[in-house]
Amino acid sequence: MKKIWMVIALMSLQCFGNEKLILTVGTDSLSAIKAQVSVDLEILKQGDEISLIRLDKEKMFKLSELMHHDFGRCPGFTKYFSEAEAYEDLASLQIKSSVQGLFTLDYKIDQHLLVKPLVEQIDEVSTVQIIAQLSNYPTRYHKSKTGLEAVMWLKSHWESLGQGRSDVTVELVKHRDTPQPSVILTIEGTENPEQVIVVGGHVDSIARGFFGGISKIAPGADDNASGIATMTEVIRVLMSNSYRSNKTIKFMAYAAEEIGLVGSREIAKSFKKAGTQVVGVMQLDMTNFKGSDEDIVLMTDYTNKAQNTFITSIIDTYVKVKWGTDKCGYACSDHASWTNAGFPASMPFESKVKDMNRKIHSKKDTLAVSKNHAFHAIKFAKMAIAYVVELDR
């Protein structure tokens, strides 16, 4: 027995050694990190909300624990592959507010006649079926065979929804840093095709096994089969009503979010490079766990304030459920990729962070946690379809 522990100790020494990590964390957590994780913490750049730090890799578990217990954040930091990449993100965050000013969208709500019947057709049964289908793959981990199968299934399902429409295309987008492709369904705009509305969420899943390894079982029903199902329901209703769009609408199922926003980062960067005019991004990541009194919680960090306000009006007008606000405290999902690229993004979330679904990133993230229903998720589908159609005017 002693021998086994010695081998494990030696292995972890080999794995972690003295390697340093480049991370961004909430500035409000710096003093706690210094006091409880590492006295010789290096603060590379301290911002008002977010700071860049360098930390020994071996301190990562302690940092996760602190973030989880004292700040209710999970994990509460963003890891970067290089210092250059981290600085690039921080720089774009600092100019974020001025970039937001470039889009003088007037967020009006005046499409009641069009929106109301669409909202009424959002269906719980169709939504729950997609969550079941996706969470039935043992894992959708970005490097796994079943993670690729899930992507291919989604592509053909979206194709079947768009069948017979020459303005609708479904494509796979290959990536540099993951073997998993993303899926994009595009409805080409008729009047202003150069303006693009994005609704997205990640298709991959992850679960941690023993000693921080990757488990082969990761149903990811809430994180994030729920977001993909929510989006798919919006597509289904738009298609069955033969909805033609003025602007271009793109639904995106991102690859490899769980290892560091990989798919969305590459896509958002390529849109920025191409000079594409993305007028709004809605991120759907975790929509089916009702943990709080508030039904829809808008994250206020790494998001666009004006668009968030617009979405709260959309909720009041068409969904009529209770909404609130909260902060992730770090770049917790793909909306951050779009914000970092200078586009207005929002992240409506299923609960307050303190009330979040604690089963995510484990083999227990199943549909059973939500009693095999999608009643929470359909509030997000109603909001998303109203958002798309109102923004499409």
Residues contributing to the site for ligand BES (CB under 6 A): 74-75, 78, 223-224, 257-258, 260-261, 285-286, 328, 331-333, 349, 353, 356
- Of all residues in the shown chain, the one whose CB is closest to ligand BES is 332
Write the Ramachandran bin of 88: left for phi over 0, alpha for psi from -120 to 50, otherwise beta: alpha
How many C-beta neighbours within 10 Å does residue 298 have?
21
* Distance of closest approach, residue 79 Cβ to ligand BES, in angstroms: 7
Is 77 strand, coil or helix? strand
Q: Alpha helix locations (H) across the chain?
A: 2-16, 30-36, 60-71, 83-94, 96-100, 112-120, 124-135, 145-161, 226-240, 262-274, 305-314, 335-340, 377-391
| Strand ranges inside 188-290, DSSP E | 192-202, 247-254, 277-283
Q: How far is the CB of 285 from Zn ion (least distance, A)?
A: 7
Q: State which residue, 245 or 357, has the beta carbon closest to ligand BES.
A: 357
Give the CA radius of gyration of the chain.
Answer: 21
**Nearer to ligand BES by C-beta: 92 or 246?**
92
Q: Give the Cβ contact number of residue 352 at 10 Å.
A: 17
Active site residues: 202, 223, 257-258, 285, 361
CB of 334 or CB of 390, closer to ligand BES: 334
Q: Nearest to residue 49, comparing CAs of 32, 31, 69, 26?
A: 26
Nearer to Zn ion, 126 or 146 (CB): 146
Q: Answer whether the bond into residue 138 is a cis peptide, omega within 30°.
A: no
For 53-58, the CB contacts below 8 A with 24+ separation are 53/22, 53/23, 53/24, 53/25, 54/20, 54/21, 54/22, 54/23, 55/20, 55/21, 55/23, 56/16, 56/18, 56/19, 56/20, 56/21, 57/16, 57/17, 57/18, 57/19, 57/20, 57/21, 58/16, 58/18
State the minimum distance, in angstroms, from the CB of residue 150 to Zn ion: 15
Residue carrying the six token digits 């602190």: 66
Give the one entry of ligand BES, Zn ion, none that residue 261 binds, where binding means its C-beta sits below a cut-off of 5 to 8 angstroms depending on kind.
ligand BES
> Of the two residues 304 and 333, which places its CB atom closer to ligand BES in the complex?
333
CB of 116 to Zn ion, least distance (A): 34
Residues numbered 216 to 235 that lie near Zn ion (CB under 5 A) are 223
The residue behind tokens 């729950």 is 128
Neighbours of 255 (CB within 10 A): 31
Q: Under the criterion CB under 5 A, does residue 301 sit at the interface with Zn ion?
A: no
CB of 122 to ligand BES, least distance (A): 22
Q: How far is the CB of 95 from ligand BES (least distance, A)?
A: 21
The footprint of Zn ion on this chain (CB under 5 A) covers a number of residues equal to 1
Q: Which is nearer to Zn ion, 61 or 83 (CB)?
A: 61
Chosen from ligand BES, Zn ion, none, partner binding at 219 (C-beta under 5 to 8 Å by type): none
